A = this chain, B = another copy of it.
Amino acid sequence: MLKKERQAYILHQVNLHNKVLSSSLCTEINVSEDTIRRDLQELATEGKVIKVHGGALSHSFNQVYFSTNGVYSQNQKKVIAQKAISLISNGMFILTSGGTTILEMARSLPPQLKATFISGSIPAILEYMHHPNIEVIVIGDKISKNSKITIGSEAIAKIKEVKADICFLGTNAIDIEHGITDNDWEVVQLKKAMIESSKMVVCLSIAEKVNSVQPIKVCDLKEIDMLITELPANDPLLKPYCDAGLRVV
């Protein structure tokens, strides 16, 4: 096999699988590992692949995983925020959790909207506070510095006193089998209370989090009414959730 031919093959494999191991290549093509390494070296200096210890990675690999922009997946979250906002009408009482998706929604609220937002998330409260026509009710209690949200029995008791029109949950993981799950026990307690205190529960989740699971369970799918992602409602990824009875937007 010619050198050029071999390199073309390698490049093809890299682009196909996003990664190659030099060890597997050298048995495939039946040349020594040195040769493979030299090929990868060349392809790397030409910028065709990214060489790493043990093999090489495709360029798209890096693009996918190493997001350099500030908030992760911000554009998707903007789309979600817009969909969520379309559910809100004047005069509503709205409970919200924390999280960057909720924050994005808070920032995008139309200025003429008049509604009452109830939350214990300090960053979210900050955003609501800047809005000219929104009433903000703060859920008080001890602050969890990790999640920047008030947590504890007081907070839960206060949430149980309200009956909101909509509850928007920033979702950490959602899965057909395990429902909504999260990774912070205190926050989960809070979300449970919020779900109970709302006529309608809306989950906001970027598509990447759909079909993922976290250690602590918040609730079953049947307890939530609507799922909002950045994908169109008819995306096949969301089909199972439609079938499970959720309104998917």
Contact = CB atoms under 8 A, between A and B. Distances in A.
Interface in A196-221: 206, 208-209, 212, 214-215
Interface string A126-151: 10110000011111111101101010
Nearest to A117: B143
Q: How many copies does the complex hold?
A: 2
Describe A's contact surface by its main secondary structure. mixed
A87 interface: no
A121 B48 CA distance: 24
A16 B143 contact: no
Interface in A41-74: 48, 50, 52-55, 57-58, 60-67, 70-73
A79 to B, nearest CB: 17
A45 to B, nearest CB: 15
B138 A15 contact: no
Contacts of A146: 19, 57
Contacts of A8: 61-62, 64-66
B137 A140 contact: yes
A24 interface: yes
Contacts of A136: 142-143, 145
A60 B53 contact: no
A180 to B, nearest CB: 13
Interface string A231-248: 000000000000000000
A137 B153 CA distance: 12
The 10 closest A-B CB pairs, nearest first, are: A140-B140, A8-B65, A15-B72, A136-B143, A138-B140, A4-B52, A60-B71, A138-B150, A139-B140, A2-B54
12 contacts: A5-B61, A18-B172, A19-B183, A60-B100, A63-B70, A64-B123, A64-B148, A122-B129, A135-B142, A138-B142, A140-B150, A140-B155
Given A5-B19, A8-B66, A137-B141, 20 more contacts: A2-B19, A2-B52, A4-B52, A5-B57, A8-B62, A8-B65, A11-B66, A17-B183, A18-B99, A24-B215, A60-B71, A60-B72, A60-B100, A61-B100, A64-B122, A122-B125, A122-B138, A140-B140, A140-B141, A140-B150
